[in-house]
Amino acid sequence: MNIAAKAKQHPIKEPKGLSRRITRLRDYYFKGARRAWNNETTAWTTGTPWDVQFNEMTFYIVPETYMLMQTMRSSYRQAARPVSLPDEFWSWPLVERRAWFVREVMTKYLPKEILPGDLIAGGRFNIVASMCLTEKEQKEFDALTMGKNGARAAVNWFHNHGYGNSGATCGHIIPGHERVLSIGWKGIYQELEAVYQGLSPKDRQGPRGAQLRAMMTAAGMPREVASGYAKVCNELATKETDSARKAELKQMASNLEQVPWNPPQTFWEAVQALWINHMLIMSDEGYPGPGVSFGRIDQYLCPYWESSLKNGMDRDFGKEILKCFWIHCNTAYDSMIRNGNQGITSGFGQLITLSGMGKDGIDMTNDLTRAMLEVIDEMNPILEPKPNVRLHKNSPDELLDRLIEMISSSQGAPFLLNFDERSMAGMLTEARKAGITHLINKDNVHEYAPVGCLENTMVGNDRSGTVDNNLNLLKAVELALTGGRDLVPFVDPLTGKAEKIRRDGPNTGDATKFTSWDQFWEAYAIQTRYIIKKCVDLYEMSESVRAKFLPTPYLSCLVKGCAEKGLDVTQGGAEISFTTLEGVTFATTVDSLLAIKYLVFDEK
């Protein structure tokens, strides 16, 4: 049998069973830069000569961007479009300036369009908005980030010398979507207003009052955005000649008049509300998607799914709604549509979690779980959202068989998390050690879900910086071998000039004179403590700058603890605010230590 014939026996996964509507929308998306419409990032400025839009710190964990930091900062400044400011703008606290500015851009400046046949509104959201800093604030920000001893220089040194990378990164969170569906943004606004009214006159005039006013400003944004799209739908409906499409557009307008300000009543409304919530988070952070996850989507959308089916919604039409939602998630990649394979890459991660255990180990697989798996199978290959399935000892055979069938057809989705029990045990251990068993316990731990590269967090109250610190554990072995020095000098790739090697770590002695494994192990332990401390100190540089200058009041509305504390999510407002330190090169480090032990000391 020739190679071509063999290849036909194992064909590449192709989409299947798509309607004309979804085929058209999917094909249009994959035209990439050849599309007439896209969601490319736009930049927006206050118009002041010092204004900056680009938040470089969120890319400190992406070393390949280091050489482009200044270019991106300058490019966004040059491309930024001015926004008209009210006279009192500069008298407001920073967090209120930022809340107003993002709301103004999203409601009054970004165009609003509905693609032909689309069932979900909300197309443009990739923005890089002004930091809204005064000239004095901008100078301080620049000194802390770009100064000789600033965060940028420190991050570069850390990377260039092989320690890893660290930075206060956006995304990597599961906002409280279920709460929005339950009470609507109207309910959230009312809760914020009640907290604000409960403040003392002194607190209202201080940072807590400013934060809550900013969050109330942000909480009104979804209603205005939805209203703008409802108007577009009504205008399109008046011009539409196809009666079926006219009815769809009118229903979309009706949906948008209801949600997300009010709680949804139908599955269509719930998915529409969820999308607007999600896209505005990406706008607020100026960060298109990575790690901004939906959580256990098949659980909190299931009541709307079941109710709509009972009231006459066709199951295939419900899947059409989901498929439109799938396509919208992929438009996050339009942020970089002019580069990187026309902006179609796989580096983002808007995660959805399916199935898994409920309280007392009960399996939570439901009909919406199955419908979403069908959508994934029929839409793939497509990049977003990235699905994962929580598996456990009580996962039904029907589910397992379906997953095997999907994965064996040459697609890489969904991810299988076949350790639900162990994940929950780890979360409970974390809670005990951190003294937060009132926040993570046996009664709620089953609500967890992954973010980013499948790191587990709780939902709606947890900002744990799961990807913010990536430490090269092998560096400690190198420093133990050299007494705290690099083995080889860093060579500047542009100038070719080599740095002089110096002692950066503790002087743990001349390793060639160690007479026992215990001596080397002690040196390694000392150097490990040193590199951990160095990583922590580096992280504090960017974390403190973010807390002071880069508020995200809209996202803060969706994270429990922020309103109660009067703190932004960037300031530690979330009820759970861990920071994760990921030990990379773990296997290589273990191999190296064992090789030294065996070859140098055991077999000497």
For the chain, the 3-state helix, strand and coil shares in percent, each to the nearest 5, are 55, 10, 35
Q: Are residues 274 and 125 in the same domain?
A: yes
Query: What pLDDT sits at residue 413?
Result: 78
Query: What pLDDT sits at residue 344?
Result: 44
Q: Are residues 436 and 317 in the same domain?
A: yes
Residue 401 structure tokens: 């068989």
Q: Are residues 499 and 365 in the same domain?
A: no
The pLDDT tens digits of the residues spanning 58-115 come to 999 999 889 999 999 999 999 999 999 999 999 999 999 999 999 999 999 999 999 9
Contacts of 429 (CB under 8 A, 6+ apart): none
CA 34 to chain centroid, in Å, comes to 27
Average pLDDT, rounded, for the chain: 95
Q: What residue numbers bound the domain in which 34 lies?
A: 20-469
Query: What pLDDT sits at residue 343?
Result: 43
Position 440: which residue type?
A: I
CB atoms within 10 A of CB 367: 14
Is the pTM higher than 0.75? The answer reads yes
CA 581 to CA 571: how far, in whole Å?
Answer: 19
Query: What pLDDT sits at residue 338?
Result: 74
Long-range Cβ contact pairs of 197-200 (< 8 A, separation 24 or more): 199/566
The pLDDT confidence band at residue 572, using thresholds 50, 70 and 90, is very high
Distances (CA, A) of 120 to 59, 100, 289, 299: 31, 26, 18, 21
Residue 488 structure tokens: 């080889």
**Collapsing DSSP states into helix, strand and coil, what is residue 61?**
coil
Whether residue 400 lies inside any domain: the answer is yes
Whose structure tokens read 């399109």? 236
End of a domain among 469, 503, 530?
469
Distances (CA, A) of 600 to 19, 172, 252, 517, 518: 66, 43, 72, 8, 12
Whether residue 91 lies inside any domain: the answer is yes
The pLDDT confidence band at residue 340, using thresholds 50, 70 and 90, is low
Residue 397 structure tokens: 């055979």
CA 597 to CA 604: how far, in whole Å?
Answer: 10
Q: Are residues 294 and 203 in the same domain?
A: yes
Contact 480, 597 (CB under 8 A): no
Count structural domains, the chain.
2
Q: Are residues 525 and 487 in the same domain?
A: yes
- Phi/psi of residue 358, nearest 5 degrees: -105, -160
End of a domain among 417, 438, 469?
469
CA 289 to CA 413: how far, in whole Å?
Answer: 18
